[in-house]
Structure 1
Amino acid sequence: MKRFWPFRRKVSARTESVSLPPMAEAAPSDMTRLLRLEDEEVSAIEAARGRLVVIGMVLVIAFSALAVRAFGLAIAGDAGPAIVAEAEDLRRGDLVDRTGQVLATTLETYSLFADPTQVWDAAETAAALATVLPDVNEARLRDDLASRRRFVWIQRNLTPRQRQAVFALGLPGLDFRIEPRRVYPRGRLAAHVVGYTDRDMDGLAGAERAFNAALDSGDGRPVPLSIDMGVQFHVDEVLRLTMAEYRALAAVGVVMNVRTGEIVSLVSLPDFDANRPASARPDERLNRATQSVYEMGSTFKAFTVALALETGIASPGETFDARGSLRVGGHTINDFHAENRRLTLEEVFTHSSNIGSSLIALEAGADAQRDMLTRLRLMERSPIELAESAEPLLPRQWGPAEIATISYGHGIAVSPIMVASAFAAIANGGVYVQPTLQPVRPGETVAGERVMDAAVAQSVLDMMRQVVEDGTGRRAEAPGYRVAGKTGTAEKPGRGGYDRNRLISSFSAVFPYDDPQYVVLVMLDEPHGTAATYNYATGGWTAAPAAGEIISRIAPMLGVERHGEAGSNSELLRAALSPSAESLPEFTQ
């Protein structure tokens, strides 16, 4: 038994060194010390816990801040322009026509991006995406995906079908972001009027640019335009058919309310799909109605005759010698359809005599001619809201040759909208009203400026009616609407002078003659004659019939009664001719 004692003593010693006396056996002084030790231990633990909670909260805040910053850098660091649309952008208002049809609206679309660090094989991914996104540049995308950036745009504003096709590929490292996109349900119809925006929803052209502030006001309310899409549809259709028939390079159509200045229709051909402006040619995006200037030919004779009446140079019935030709400043002026006789003031206008018009302007002088054109706003850009409004091209000097040629629309280049507005002033009793794309409320008074004596304006309008009844504009007559108008044919300038084989042919119409309400201007750029026109491509043969067809179609839609018809019949015709929503071009991807 002695051999086990050493082991027992060692165990006892170890127990005594690590164990506290039992509570029942401890002395009072030992009890106090034990309680004090326990209190200190608990306090230390609680303090440590508090410090750990504070440290944890600080770490959470710090790591949250780092995560937010890292996310922001991942999104914006390599993404180029800011892509997160603000609330105001999401509420960009719709553009609608005067009847409430939507011309431009905002939809949410999906945009595809990649995190190159998560892409397994850059070449394989780029090749696969190119099969479902044909607009993607495969080589450039491959280089982007092979980079070490965290964010790369692949393609924005995908169609639902494209998004599904990308999903089906099952490629890692790809994701989508929802972005707003401006869409144009009518596509090409009124594209030059409506315009388009950039990716950040800022207007770049047309009404999108002109009314950008109103569209981005933040209230989300639609912005109405004066355009009537039913009228626009028919003007567009007639112009396309006419342009094709005469193989013209371009065509323009304008319909304007003479009393309010409202532009009810504005067509410029060739045109473009407003949903894809980047894919259009520059000449397709060009708004020829406002942005291009042309020598408009004999339409200017309306202003020359007004000048004769206003200055007292001539009165109705007074004659001018239009025999032979006229030499002015080394230039010879001839009549296209020479009468070779003395012509009355009315005949100068009706038969469109260059010689008679030149004689009137030369007698009036440069100052009087400039004053008349200035009052009609033909010496400055059109005041329409569109930024695409061109300055006229004026002669460097205003000598006898310039006075003579300007009297019949050569030597000065203006936009079609400027000419339409000047004819609207004549139709409005000599009061000029600014052209506008903003609708006028019923009963609203529109302020205009008197630019011509009312009696003079009426006399010119009477002569315009004679042009349609007995002169060069007979093919513009629209039965029941008593059209008044003036033809215009101008040779286009080129190297070495004017080219008689390249014409600007036009017709400026007012209807109805008895109660003028609307101006219709049709212009064709380089039309070609046909067997039906005896190979003539002048305004009377090409533009005038188109104007008459347009008036026949749109007059009932505008509530203009046929001569002798009751209002109820007019309403029936309007309903019959107004295109339904189904017949108008729809937005398609």
Structure 2
Amino acid sequence: MTHLPPPSPDAAPRGRPEAPLPPQESASRALVRVAPGEALMRTRMKGRLFFAAAGFGLLFTAVGLKLTDATVLDPAASRIATAPRSAPVVEPPVARAEITDRNGEVLAVTVRGTALYARPAQIDDPRAVADQLVRILPHLERDRLIQRLSPPRQFAYIDRFITPRQEQAINDLGILGLHFETAERRTYPRGRDAAHVLGVVDVDGVGIAGVEKWFDERLRVSRAPLRLSIDIRIQRELREALEWAIDRFSGIGGAAIMMDVHTAEVLGMVSLPDFAASDLAHAPAEQRFNRAVTGVYEPGSTFKLLTSAMALDLGTVQLHSGFDASRPIRIGRHTINDFRGKNRWLALPEIIAYSSNLATAHMAMTVGPTRHREFIGRMGLLQRLSVELPEAAVPLAPSQRNWRDVNTMTIGFGHGISVTPLHVITATSALANGGILRPPTVIAQPEGVERQGVRVISERTSEQMRRLMRVAVTDGSARSSESPGYFIGGKTGTAQKLNDRGVYIENRRISAFVGAFPMNAPRYSMYIMVDEPKPRADTGGFATAGVVAAPTARRVLERTAPILGMVPEIERQQQIQATIALPLQPGRPAAVPRVQPAAQSTPAPRPAPTLAPRTAVPPPGFEPSQAPLRRTDAGDGVAMPRLVIHGMSPESGRAAR
């Protein structure tokens, strides 16, 4: 078998004739022949690619130019920084608004915390749990806590407000059945300051006393702070001065008030003993009792200012008028007398300076019981005051049917009627401010807005009363209240207290002072009262208002006047004093002769009406003296009459609602 060599790569297939081959060309110059239709398609594809590339080039060029403008030529704020973010979670407002003083000082605020409560059904060993809790919360009582943690109780609060550290310590115990919830607590940053005015709330945040109770709904509905008229700086000075007087004379308590005479805003109100508002549950009743608005007391000789204003305004007396104070007044088995009296006829300024019961009783009778009671009612002394404190008491006074001559005489000098200290200072403010009585308020009033009031005496009577109040300080029993340059005026009052049988008790008294300053242009009034002061050797064995309340008033004046923006007028002292001075025995004004027509005959003079024995006319031979008489009494010149007025409170000073 013959083996044939392999065919050449260029050889034609076997069995076919060989075709002539084209001339050979070099491999480097070989050409690819394309059909005419395929070449057209390739041309079109190249055009499309060119346009696509040009489009993308223009797009990227535009983007590059925009980036260059935004980042280099005119940089713009980052949208990430300015993009709106999700609002932070805001806690809901507390359930009770703040209370502030007139200057914005926070007096009461609600803070959030944690409350601890238990599900006794989930607690296996109440005694062991109680032992653990008492170590963390030592104020809890173990036995009572065991009861609250034991069935059949289903739910029990353990503590309404705990600190974060206590919460963490309890949580670390890992006790099943103890749970936490968000709680609120009312706190009083100033402690005892203005506690009786602020009042308190209960464990559920509901007001139960003071402003907290009066404005309970407003404090829960509105978030705006409640702004009081109280100035916490004045409040602190009042409290310190009153505490000093109580400690000095071993009193059982006292009250002090300062008021704006033109708006009746209470700038400070103190009742001692007081309490910490955050600890009311542990405060005894004596501390919770508000002597300034709840306690009613016989005002004593401070009421002689009202009797004088009444008689002057009704025209039954003049400044130069006077009354016989040489003989006691006997009513049945009872006698009215003076304490170290002058035993002579006294002019009106002397009646106030020497605090004569006898002359004041005669003066009250020139008006009579009917008009006397009407005047006392007009001064707001027969009804509850409309102050924003729910504890305000109703005065104790005889009814209209039982108001007789004896009541007019004794009430004229402050016995037989019981009112609150707030009543006394409110009425005195009206005597000093021009004769307008305004209801007292503990809410700050808008600046420059005049409060509504009722005219109770004329401006002329008010001007005369300012002079009389000044005389009581310069020449009377209130001279210990004098502070040079401040021109304070006022009246002291000492009243004995009653026992359960309605009889006055020896050595149990109320010593008070009420006044205003400066007397040439009154702006503020004050009331100071010490309950049951004890005599001291350095006061001559006296505990009357002249040695107890009057010096305290001076202490208050000198500490609060600078706070109120007042400075003593030392350089103009004599000049100012001359404008408000009043002689103790003013002379009768000279009568202006009446000129009669020549054609008429002069009519016979009418006989002057006699008021004997309570005459306001000086006795024959009386010569007014311009020199002040020597003061002989150490107190306020008051002797307590042994009179029991039926229908009165069995004990002066007790609360009356």
Normalising to structure 1: TM-score of the pair?
Answer: 0.78
Q: Is the 8 A contact 1:88 1:217 kept in 2?
A: no
Distance in 1 between residues matched to 2:213 and 2:145, nearest whole Å:
33
Q: Which amino acid aligns with 1:549?
A: R
CA contact (8 A) 1:479 1:552 kept: no
2 CA distance for matches of 1:363 and 1:500?
A: 31
Q: Is the 8 A contact 2:309 2:431 kept in 1?
A: no
Match of 2:115 in 1: 111
Counterpart for residue 459 of structure 2: 454
1:126-525 equivalence runs, <5 A: 126-147=130-151, 149-160=153-164, 162-163=166-167, 166-167=170-171, 171-218=175-222, 220-396=223-399, 397-496=402-501, 497-525=503-531
- Distance in 2 of aligned mates of 1:565 and 1:95: 42
Counterpart of 1:537 in structure 2 is 543
Distance of aligned partners of 1:142 and 1:333 in 2 relative to their CA distance in 1, 3 Å threshold = same
- For 1:141 and 1:128, locate their aligned partners in 2 and report how far apart those are by CA, in whole Å: 11
What is the alpha-carbon root mean square deviation over aligned residues?
A: 1.8
Distance in 2 separating the partners of 1:543 and 1:160? 49
CA distance in 1 between partners of 2:332 and 2:386 (Å) = 35
Q: Kindly indicate whether the alpha-carbon contact (under 8 Å) linking 2:386 and 2:439 is maintained by their aligned counterparts in 1.
A: yes
User: In the alignment, is the contact (CA less than 8 A) between 1:475 and 1:544 conserved in 2?
Assistant: yes
Deviation at 1:283, TM superposition (A): 1.5
**Cα distance in 1, alignment partners of residues 479 and 169 from structure 2:** 59
Q: Counterpart amino acid of 1:340? A: N
Extract unaligned runs of 5+ from structure 1. Answer: 1-86, 567-589
1:52 matched residue in structure 2: none
Query: Residues of 1 paired with 2:141 and 2:454: CA distance?
Result: 56
Question: Residue type matched to 2:423 in 1?
Answer: M
Q: Distance in 2 between matches of 1:256 and 1:388?
A: 19
Moved more, 492-501 or 477-486: 492-501
State the 1:92 CA deviation: 1.7
Counterparts of 1:160 and 1:216, CA distance in 2:
26
Amino acid at match of 1:421: T
| 1:527 counterpart = 2:533 | yes
AA aligned to 2:506 is R
Give 1:161 deviation, angstroms: 5.5
Q: Which AA in structure 2 matches 1:196? A: V
Q: Which AA in structure 2 matches 1:442?
A: E
Give the length in aligned residue pairs: 479
**1:279 maps to amino acid:** H
In 2: Cα distance, 1:525 partner to 1:290 partner: 14
Aligned to 1:94: 98
Deviation at 1:564?
5.3
Q: Give 1:25's aligned residue.
A: none
> Mean alpha-carbon deviation: is it higher for 173-182 or for 155-164?
155-164
Question: Highest relative contact order (Cα 8 Å, sep 6+), 1 or 2?
Answer: 2
- Aligned equivalents of 1:446, 1:243: Cα separation in 2: 35
Q: 1:180 to 1:522 in 2, by over 3 A?
A: same
CA distance in 2, matches of 1:329, 1:102: 58
| Counterpart residue type for residue 113 of structure 2 | T
How far apart are 1:150 and its partner, in Å?
A: 4.4
Distance in structure 1 (CA, Å) of the matches to 2:227 and 2:275: 22
Relative distance call for 1:423 and 1:334 in structure 2 (3 A) is: same
1 or 2, which has the higher helix percentage? 1
Alpha-carbon shift at residue 544 of structure 1 (Å)? 0.6
Corresponding residue for residue 32 of structure 2: none
Contact kept, 8 Å, 2:373 with 2:403, in 1: the verdict is: no
Q: Retained in 2: the 8 A contact 1:89–1:201? A: no
Instruction: Give the deviation of 1:138 after TM superposition.
Output: 2.5
SS of residue in 2 equivalent to 1:486? strand
For residues 5-154 of structure 1, what are the structure 2 equivalents within 5 Å? 90-147=94-151, 149-154=153-158
Moved more, 109-118 or 387-396: 109-118
Query: Structure 2 stretches of 5 or more lacking a match?
Result: 1-90, 573-657
Alignment check: 8 A CA contact 2:96 2:219 kept: yes
**What's the offset of the Cα at 1:299?**
0.4
Structure 1 pair 548/160, CA: closer, same or farther in 2 (3 Å)? Answer: farther
Q: Could you say which residue in structure 2 is the equivalent of 1:12?
A: none
Taking the aligned partners of 1:161 and 1:546, their CA distance within structure 2 comes to: 47
1:328/1:400 contact within 8 Å kept:
no
1:170 to partner: Cα distance:
5.0
Alignment TM-score, normalising by the size of structure 2: 0.70
Question: Percent sequence identity over matched residues?
Answer: 40
Q: Distance in 1 between matches of 2:228 and 2:92?
A: 21
The correspondence for 1:558, drawn from 564, 573, 598, is 564
Deviations 1:279-326 (A, max 9, x none): 101121111101111001000000111122122222112221111311
Tell me what 1:47 maps to.
Answer: none
C-alpha distance in structure 2 between counterparts of 1:217 and 1:328, whole Å: 59
For 2:442 and 2:126, how far apart are their aligned partners in 1? Answer: 50
Q: Distance in 2 between matches of 1:180 and 1:190?
A: 22
SS at match of 1:440: coil
Please tell me whether the aligned partners of residues 113 and 155 of structure 1 are also in contact (alpha carbons under 8 angstroms): yes
Partner-residue secondary structure (3-state), 1:327: strand
CA-CA distance at 1:479 after TM superposition: 2.1
Aligned partner of 1:547 among 538, 547, 553: 553
